[in-house]
């Protein structure tokens, strides 16, 4: 009798164990393959080497007006990275005139992610101030190498730093140098 009970128990355990659903093995795509959207942006601008130095505060007042914070969907960058090194995306013009679309090629090398616009198209736009006529506008960056500060399967933080020398032909000040820092936090959407 004990042998029969033991046999029934073994058969029952085997039956129920085989009926359990086995979870599907999730296939994680390699970084950064997939769709990404900015959720936060950080921007800073430092004014250096103003000539004459008495104009430093005036330059800062005019230039340092960009903001950082959470990005609304209508203002976000949306990027799709394909496995073959191509991609496409969209972004918002800095002046608020709407969105634009672009295609790009990309390359990952260590902690650097290079993005280049296809056919010479602009990928990331930034607002600029030209100086003499105190006019602002946009510059389209065609080739950008981002520093990857953080990366995981669902989030990445990309940053870049660049410096530019400005000239202002007026009796108040002659030139200054600006250092810009951009940092975007992306969240994976697919």
pLDDT tens figures, 45-100: 787 777 777 666 776 766 665 566 777 777 788 999 999 999 999 988 877 788 88
Q: Is the pLDDT of residue 134 over 50?
A: no
pLDDT tens-digit readout, 136-170 = 567 778 888 899 999 888 899 999 888 877 766 65
Distance CA 32, CA 190 (A): 11
Pairing of β 86-92 and β 78-81: antiparallel
Q: State both tokens at 74.
A: 């209508």
Q: Is 98 helix (H, G, I), strand (E, B) or coil?
A: coil
Q: Look at residue 130 and tell me whether its pLDDT is greater than 50.
A: yes
Q: pTM of this prediction? A: 0.69
Q: Counting beta carbons within 10 angstroms of the beta carbon of residue 156, is it exposed (0 to 12), middle (13 to 18) or buried (19 or more)?
A: buried
Q: Return the ∠ at Cα 54 (arms to 48 and 57), rounded to 5°.
A: 60
């Amino acid at each position: 009798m004990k042998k029969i009970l033991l046999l029934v128990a073994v058969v029952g355990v085997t039956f129920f164990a085989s009926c359990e659903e086995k979870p599907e093995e999730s296939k994680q795509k390699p970084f950064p393959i997939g769709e990404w959207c900015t959720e936060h942006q950080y921007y800073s601008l430092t004014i250096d080497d103003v000539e004459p130095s008495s104009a430093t505060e005036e330059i800062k007042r005019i230039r340092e007006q960009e903001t950082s914070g959470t990005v609304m969907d209508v203002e976000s960058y949306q990027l799709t990275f394909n496995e073959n090194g191509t991609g496409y995306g969209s972004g918002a013009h800095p002046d608020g005139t709407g969105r634009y679309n672009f295609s790009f090629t990309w390359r990952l090398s260590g902690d650097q992610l290079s993005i280049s616009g296809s056919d010479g198209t602009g990928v990331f736009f930034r607002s600029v101030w030209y100086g003499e006529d105190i006019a602002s506008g946009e510059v389209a960056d065609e080739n950008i190498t981002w520093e990857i500060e953080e990366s995981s399967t669902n989030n990445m933080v990309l940053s870049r730093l660049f410096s530019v020398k400005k000239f202002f032909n007026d009796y108040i000040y002659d030139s200054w140098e600006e250092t810009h820092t951009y940092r975007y936090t992306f969240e994976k959407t697919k």
